[in-house]
Structure 1
Amino acid sequence: MDFQTDQLPISFDIYTTSTKPKLTRTSTSKVRTGCVTCKKRHVKCDEAKPHCRNCVRNNRQCEGYAIPDRKRNKGPGQFQWDSKRVTWTAPLKTQLHLVQDSLDFRDAQTVLYFDEFIQVVQSPWISAGFNSDLWSVTLPQVARTNDIVRHAAIAIGALSKWLAKLEYDSLGSLLSADNEAAQEDPDYLNAVSHYCHALKLQSQQFSIHDAVFLSVLFLCFETLRGNRKAALDHINHGLAMLLALLTDEDSSLMKSVAPNPKPLIAVVADIFSQLLPQTRLILRGNIGRSPAVPNFTKGLRAKKHTVESFMSLVNQIPRDYPPTEKLPPVLDSLDDFEKYWLTGRNAKLAVVPLLMEAVQNTGVLVSSDPDIISRVWREITADPRIKEICEASTKELRALEAAFMPLFNRAIMSDAKSTDYIRAVHLRLHYLGTCTFDDLTHFYDVEPIQAKTPLFREYLSLAEISIRIAKRDLKNPAQQLSLQCNMASHLFLIALFCRDALLRDEATWLLKDYPGQDGIWNARSLYLLAHRNKVVERINASEGTPIEQWHRLLRREYLFEEGGDRVIFCYLEKDETTGEWRLVEETAVVKGELDAIEWARRPPSAAGRPLLGDIITLWPELVE
């Protein structure tokens, strides 16, 4: 879709008159408050909310409705926020008059930046197939009416303009380059200026309503800038804010967000919940000394909660759709599939405390035995409670797939540039990722992993299609950002666990050219690990039965220090002197040409114990 950037947005000037309006011969008043998209195109709008039906009917992305700033209102109107709608209530005598001005913006340049922001948050990659109005409707609407949120939005738009000028074909390759000289560019300086101004305004007049939106926008800004340490800080504050909202006894904080805030909070919580696992592996500093989300973990301790109980609170937030009923034989829409899939995914959280129990029972956190990890997997596989949950989940996933595939096949036979085609591919990738990696009873023996080879192959095929579409359609690198996509991490897991060497190589090469930025994952770091794993696989295959080789591979571990810029990789290697397999630890700094990066040996950080022990030290809330 082409977004026009040569016109100022339409704003409103409200005044109150004490005289009775003159009656006209028309039976209805003339529409003057249509959506932004219709105004830009100079066509009549039916004012349906949250999406104008005129835009939907013509396959255009509705940009929402321009609302006047409260400070410029001369009547006693009241701003109301209801999760996905922005409305204005005013006395009957108040009349609206369109004014072509730029009162919401400092100058024409900021208008261009704001339009650039709209293109970023409405790109198909950012939501990774999920149909969330947060990106397409809510954030653009709130940014038009809220000074602080608008400055954050303009900062993202300016940064997007800067990124587009650097002549890189992907966000991943751009963020890895040395752009210090380019940071003197006016667009970059304007981006930082608006970002700092938004931070300053938030510190001066804190509002939980603003914080909900700013937590997402600040995270997007720092991720686009490649500052993963600052991005970790924003994840930390976002999670701490959500914990405060969800554990507030009288719900006063929640009520201060909006009259009906819970569907909105649910969407934001889903985003941060998906980012939470990344913070356990990506450290802000060095191993053992730098918890990535200290405010959040401190809040968990103070509230006597664990990560699992926090996730349970997130899943209890009412959504903007009713609870799912019995699964029909065939699903009617991609929205229906998304709802059933999310419900089933959330139900599997019951397995988390059982996994922590298995970790504690085996003594893995204090053992330096090279075989200890395989014993943990054996205990997990043998636990009847874990097995029951996983078997029930597998049954539900198979039923969901049967109901989804007719819909999926229709979607992929449509135009490859259509929204349904791209969304169906992403949703299928989410489903395959769940089927492939979430059943933890399949990892102790090698046969169940080998049986997943067709799933690995299909995932790689769809991932290649998705990446090709992104490179073709997303010309601005900023549009390749997503806080909800997990494709890079799944490609890495395939490169690690798949037993077909050719498929492992394919996953590795897809990682090397991966265009997107998935949360705070560093795709270059993941590629570096996957490429190093080829050496580990070759050494491991030199001796032993398939099950012995597999159990040695289960001892592999990895962590990311300094926000993902340094990689730690642990694995078993045969000592040629003693003939024993011993643990080795290597590190690499992710800088420069990937294939020229060298790995360096160092003594094991945890004295031969699993790195998991240091993670638990930083995350005691996992097991308490």
Structure 2
Amino acid sequence: MPSAVCKYGGSEINFFMPQTPGAAWAKPSEMELTPSVFSHLLRRRHVKCDEAKPSCQRCVKWRGFCEGYETSSSARSTPVLEPDVRSTTPTKRLVVNNYNSDTILAEPTTNLFENETERQYFDHWLQYRNRLGGGFFDEQLWNETIPQLSRQHASVKYAIMAIGGIAQATRHSLKSTSPVQMGANGPHYHLALSYYGRAIREVREAKLDTSSLRGAIVCCLLFICFEVLHDDRKAAFSHINNGQRMMDELLRSSEQGDNVLGAESFEKDILHVFQRLIQQSWSCGVLRRRDQFLSNACSNSSGDESKSAQSWCCRGGSGGKCVIHNMPSSFATLQDARCWWDVTQHYVTHSSDIVLRVTHLGLEDDFLSECNERVQRHMNDIEKARAGTRPAMSEQWQDFKDALERWHAGFKSLWMAAQESRDEEERSYAQAALLQAHYLTLYGCVHSPLSCSYDSIAQLTPKYREVVELCGYLLEYQQRSLRPCEIFTMDMGPTWLLFLAGTRCRDAEVRNKAIRLLHEHPRRDGLWDSRIFYALTVRNRVLEISNAQEGTLEEQWWRLQHRSAHVDEQGRLMARALDKNPLTGAWELGEDNLRRFLFD
């Protein structure tokens, strides 16, 4: 029997669900859910107190209270909350379009809250939720479904309030803020941790049914949002991994679990959000090991065996193939193009050997081994090329080029129409421009991977120039559309695109424009932090100047391919590169702390 093991603080939660290859699944609402089918397994671990008065921050976060001290009820920062405060007044009942018709949701009301502080934190999240989806496309998940699920699941309500509290604790600044600094900004940080702990406890105590699994997945998404604001990327990566496991079980249990694009609205919406977050984790050097079946099942295998082995993010193609093989030749709307772009981008990222040398230390080997192995293969190819035996691009790369071109062929007419009606339909143009910029960036990763030649990367200059121009427009568009402030989203914004253009493009003018845009528009798009990318691109600009002083263009590019960066276990941003030793005249691999390049 398969299980999804999800670690939340001091507990592990196992969701067990039956899986029989080839067996038909009933609708979730019709399934007989018994302890033998679906159960919790909780295992507490000791959490060492940090001895902070009046209560330990670690215990507040993971348990909602601290057993290390005896504190009078009058000294508590927040009252003990009941797991689910029921409203005594009638509420408006509604059915979310395309959602499970058996699930009736209620609009959030003030009766959900125990006190005014809770309501204020919840309302703060509501005020900014439209930005979490990126602000370019309409996002039913963020705008409607999650707020309504806060009535059905107390865990979702507490997770939302935790985000509202942590946002207040950071004083709406997206720069890195320490717990001490957040704690000095009033009671918000302590309350945010407390609500976070309550959300975790509600997930533990939830009823054993498919609805609770949906609620746990939404909480997982909200926990990622919280940890990004909390600046704890290690925890954010862990929640992304947990979310993937739970998504696998949810889609396997649904009636259309063998088709990720044929699932119900909730499953499809949250699936695409997780695909984008997985893309972000890959760009940070953190990637789950791809399934061993992938190289074969996506092309050769068929039937129930391959279907049961495939991960949730790849199922849906005819004859047991990956869902990307069902991509239509054209897309009716930009929203359709975006959904299929998520599928295409995910397939190319996980199935190919494209990789970036930016990562995080202190993570488990399961998070890093896939990217580390990819990097090593590229470095071996680079050494072979220096020895005069540059390996030819394999047929596998051609498959990914073809996948990208199939998507772009279907998108091309929409892109042309958006350009023609830019003045009348600017929002549609912005949506299309975002997709075009992401396509061009992934095109560069596939056609000129880490081990590519100088000529290969130089040929991409026009595409990187277009990427920077599009990103400049997108940033200016959002600045006009939203209130002037630092933007925080959980979507695929322009930040990462500017970082790649600012480090890979061989035109210094294009690189400098990308750097300027990163500096002028501080923001976070999920795991992507413009301040970190700005520091890396500025350090690269210094490196480019010294590197250009010696050798041919190919030799200079070979040295640049040794660039890497990581965030160490102390949270320091470190960069490694080949630099010339002024004493010996040799090019040596050195490490540099980039703190001086981080701006406030």
| TM bucket, shorter chain | 0.5 to 0.7
1:325: which partner in 2?
328
- If you compute each CA radius of gyration, which structure gives the higher value, 1 or 2? 1
Confirm or deny that 1:316 pairs with 2:315.
yes
Confirm or deny that 1:403 pairs with 2:413.
yes
Going from structure 1 to structure 2, the CA distance change for 1:577 and 1:88 (only over 3 Å counts) comes to closer
CA deviation map 1:475-500 (0-9, x unaligned): 3858x222222522221111111011
Q: Which runs of 5+ in 1 are unaligned?
A: 1-68, 91-95, 284-291, 597-624
Aligned pairs for 1:381-396 within 5 A: 382-393=392-403, 395-396=405-406
Q: Is the 8 A contact 2:464 2:510 kept in 1?
A: yes
Going from structure 1 to structure 2, the CA distance change for 1:113 and 1:571 (only over 3 Å counts) comes to closer
CA deviation map 1:458-517 (0-9, x unaligned): 221222222234444433858x22222252222111111101111111112222333221
1:428: which partner in 2?
436
CA deviation map 1:98-129 (0-9, x unaligned): 9x974322244433433322222222x63364
CA distance in 1, matches of 2:120, 2:437: 35
Q: Is the 8 A contact 2:563 2:575 kept in 1?
A: yes
CA deviation map 1:127-176 (0-9, x unaligned): 3645542112211221233222112122223444555xx3x6xx434x45
1:219: which partner in 2?
224
Residue type of the partner of 1:157? G
1:116: which partner in 2?
124
Confirm or deny that 1:448 pairs with 2:456.
yes
1:474: which partner in 2?
482
Going from structure 1 to structure 2, the CA distance change for 1:186 and 1:322 (only over 3 Å counts) comes to farther
Confirm or deny that 1:490 pairs with 2:497.
yes
TM-aligned CA deviation for residue 567 of structure 1: 2.7
2:537: which partner in 1?
530
Residue type of the partner of 2:333? S
Q: Is the 8 A contact 1:229 1:562 kept in 2?
A: no
Confirm or deny that 1:506 pairs with 2:506.
no
1:14: which partner in 2?
none
TM-score by length of 1: 0.63
CA distance in 2, matches of 1:594, 1:71: 47
CA distance in 1, matches of 2:223, 2:374: 41
TM-aligned CA deviation for residue 311 of structure 1: 7.9
Tell me the SS of whatever aligns to 1:315.
coil
Tell me the SS of whatever aligns to 1:542.
coil
Q: Is the 8 A contact 2:98 2:264 kept in 1?
A: yes
Residue type of the partner of 1:202? V
CA deviation map 1:394-428 (0-9, x unaligned): 54355245312233214531365xx4354333233
1:204: which partner in 2?
205
Which piece of structure 1 moves more, 112-121 or 136-145?
Answer: 112-121
Q: Is the 8 A contact 2:340 2:407 kept in 1?
A: no
Greater RCO (Cα-Cα under 8 Å, separation 6 or more): 1
Going from structure 1 to structure 2, the CA distance change for 1:277 and 1:403 (only over 3 Å counts) comes to closer
CA distance in 2, matches of 1:466, 1:496: 20
Q: Is the 8 A contact 2:503 2:540 kept in 1?
A: yes
Which piece of structure 1 moves more, 468-477 or 497-506?
Answer: 468-477
Aligned pairs for 1:250-399 within 5 A: 251=253, 263-276=265-278, 278-279=280-281, 313-316=312-315, 324-327=327-330, 332-348=332-348, 351-352=351-352, 364=377, 371=383, 378-379=390-391, 382-393=392-403, 395-399=405-409
Residue type of the partner of 1:143? S
CA distance in 1, matches of 2:527, 2:389: 28
Q: Is the 8 A contact 1:113 1:154 kept in 2?
A: yes
CA deviation map 1:516-554 (0-9, x unaligned): 212223332222221111222122211222222222222
Residue type of the partner of 2:335? D
Q: Is the 8 A contact 2:85 2:112 kept in 1?
A: no
CA distance in 2, matches of 1:348, 1:366: 20
CA distance in 2, matches of 1:453, 1:194: 48
CA distance in 1, matches of 2:372, 2:494: 28
CA distance in 1, matches of 2:345, 2:336: 14
Which piece of structure 1 moves more, 569-578 or 497-506?
Answer: 569-578
CA distance in 1, matches of 2:506, 2:480: 32
Confirm or deny that 1:151 pairs with 2:152.
no
TM-aligned CA deviation for residue 273 of structure 1: 3.6
Going from structure 1 to structure 2, the CA distance change for 1:116 and 1:384 (only over 3 Å counts) comes to same
CA distance in 1, matches of 2:462, 2:375: 33
Confirm or deny that 1:572 pairs with 2:578.
yes
1:439: which partner in 2?
447
Going from structure 1 to structure 2, the CA distance change for 1:152 and 1:542 (only over 3 Å counts) comes to same
Q: Is the 8 A contact 2:272 2:339 kept in 1?
A: no
Going from structure 1 to structure 2, the CA distance change for 1:200 and 1:308 (only over 3 Å counts) comes to farther
Going from structure 1 to structure 2, the CA distance change for 1:324 and 1:386 (only over 3 Å counts) comes to closer
1:289: which partner in 2?
none
Query: Which of 577, 581, 586 lines up with 2:587 in the alignment?
Result: 581
Q: Is the 8 A contact 1:364 1:376 kept in 2?
A: no
TM-aligned CA deviation for residue 89 of structure 1: 6.9
Identity of aligned residues (%): 24
TM-aligned CA deviation for residue 82 of structure 1: 8.8
TM-aligned CA deviation for residue 223 of structure 1: 1.4
CA distance in 1, matches of 2:583, 2:169: 56
Aligned pairs for 1:60-209 within 5 A: 84=99, 102-123=110-131, 126-127=133-134, 129-161=136-168, 163=170, 166=171, 171-173=173-175, 175=176, 180=181, 183-205=184-206, 207-209=212-214
2:70: which partner in 1?
none
CA distance in 2, matches of 1:313, 1:335: 21
2:6: which partner in 1?
none
Q: Is the 8 A contact 1:446 1:550 kept in 2?
A: yes
Residue type of the partner of 1:141? Q
Number of residue pairs aligned between Structure 1 and Structure 2:
479
Q: Which runs of 5+ in 2 are unaligned?
A: 1-83, 298-308, 356-368
